[in-house]
Amino acid sequence: MNSSRPSFLALTPTNAYVVPGGRFRELYYWDSYFTMLGLQASGRQDLVADMVNDFAFLIDAFGHVPNGTRTYYLSRSQPPFFFEMVGLLSRDDPASGYARYLRELRREYAFWMAGERGLPPGTAYMRVVSLPDGAILNRYWDNRDTPRDESFLEDSELSEAGSRPSASVYRNIRAAAESGWDFSSRWFADGKHPTTINTTDIIPVDLNALLYGLEDAIRLGCKVAHDRACTAEFAARMHARRTAIDRYLWDAAHGVYFDYRWPAGERITRISAATLYPLFEGAASNMQARAVGIAVSAVLLQPGGLVTTTVATGEQWDAPNGWAPLQWIAISGLRRYGDTALANSIACRWMNNVSAVYRDGGKLVEKYDVIDTSRAGGGGEYPTQDGFGWTNGVMRRLAGLYPARVCSHPPTVTTRCRTDRPCRAPQPGQMVPRAGIEPAT
């Protein structure tokens, strides 16, 4: 470790990597997968392989991938995309990559599942929740309950603004940081105010879909390794998780996947772009995928792509912002289930949005306003960053799937905007009209 930069975590000197950009000068976990999509499309498979090895090194060294390569990030991870990164090593035969990195895949899985054995129904331990019927699903967590080193003042002020015990507030802030959605109305008990943040009470759709994918990757890797017991175990784990997702997170009445507040035993009926993760990981049935597509088209589709949530709180992971990783999750998931029309519409709206901001300012940025496409996104704890790794990666990958001639004319909005008035960016606290889906009370 470089003594002049003592918070940096050392990586192997032989493996290169790409950082997100702007204020983010270290390697970040889930950002990197989307950056790697663009590297692969640009013929830099060498960098993809180096970055996979960097993340494998972190798992071997710490038992998990930290949020980022800083010592103060060691108490939490981020959405588990390592298996997806490994899958990029050989798109024609991902199972061979899973077998090669089976040790690291299993070790990361053990990190997320620590404490599951013998956990009584209706209780939780770290990142594991045992539901009333004994089903196991997961939540975001952080091993510390103090202000974040990188945002000490902001966290302290938020704790002082409410009446809850400080340790609880800090833990829930940190857990939201592990989610990558820092911050969003998804994690607020009232759906509006950060003082009500209760991330650890929530079983999130995206995390559990990714862990379903990780279980599948381990199953396939064990099959290649001729480990029959492991193959059978993880096939059973996949089945159990999908059954639990369908029981607790799928809402047939609305045709979407919702997050679940496990202490209260209720779905949180606020749709977000996370509803598309089960499609991305193949955890949805064809019927469920069709229903999600209809709901997404009616509720989340905007002139510049998919909006992250339907409420404007001033947080960056809420309306009116859209983010490159969520566009890719949606496009890839919808294409997987044959909904190419909606996938194409999202892709073209997003690409036109990014291109317009680039023409105006000469740069790609971290996030975008998908309702008022004349500007970059905003909100949150810090200014919108230039760069930007995952925007670059997703745009480069989409450029190969959707040539300029395909998206030469911005698609018109036919499902979201009323004919008697234009779409407008919502004001902070204002709800975007939704198809019968209201915030939890």
Share of the chain above pLDDT 70, in %: 91
Give the integer Cα–Cα distance in Å for 437 and 296: 12
Report if residue 413 sits inside a domain: yes
Catalytically annotated residue among 54, 104, 178, 182: 182
Report if residue 56 sits inside a domain: no
* Strand-pair category, 136-138 with 128-130: antiparallel
Output the average pLDDT for the chain.
91
Report if residue 354 sits inside a domain: yes
182 is catalytic: yes
The model's pTM: 0.92
Give the integer Cα–Cα distance in Å for 101 and 89: 11
> Facing residues of 128 across strands?
125, 138
Catalytically annotated residue among 215, 281, 366, 369: 366
Instruction: Report the pLDDT value the prediction gives residue 30, as an integer from 0 to 100.
Output: 98
- Domain of residue 314: give its range: 270-434
318 is catalytic: no
Instruction: Report the pLDDT value the prediction gives residue 5, as an integer from 0 to 100.
Output: 60
Report if residue 4 sits inside a domain: no
pLDDT tens per residue, range 58-114: 999 999 999 999 999 999 999 999 999 999 999 889 999 999 999 999 999 999 999
Checking if the pLDDT of 48 tops 70, the result is yes
Report if residue 131 sits inside a domain: no
Give the integer Cα–Cα distance in Å for 154 and 169: 12
pLDDT band of 413, cuts 50, 70, 90: very low
Checking if the pLDDT of 265 tops 50, the result is yes
Report if residue 326 sits inside a domain: yes
pLDDT tens per residue, range 376-406: 899 998 989 898 999 999 999 999 999 876 7
Report if residue 426 sits inside a domain: yes
Q: Whose CA is closest to 135, among 116, 156, 114? A: 116
Quick one: 13 exposed, middle or buried, by C-beta within 10 A (0-12, 13-18, 19+)? exposed
Report if residue 352 sits inside a domain: yes
Q: What is the DSSP string of 174-194?
A: HHHHHHS--S-GGGBTTSS-G
Contact 358, 317 (CB under 8 A): no
C-alpha count within 13 angstroms, C-beta hemisphere, residue 238: 21
User: What's the whole-number mean pLDDT along residues 126-134?
Assistant: 98
**Total number of domains in the chain:** 1
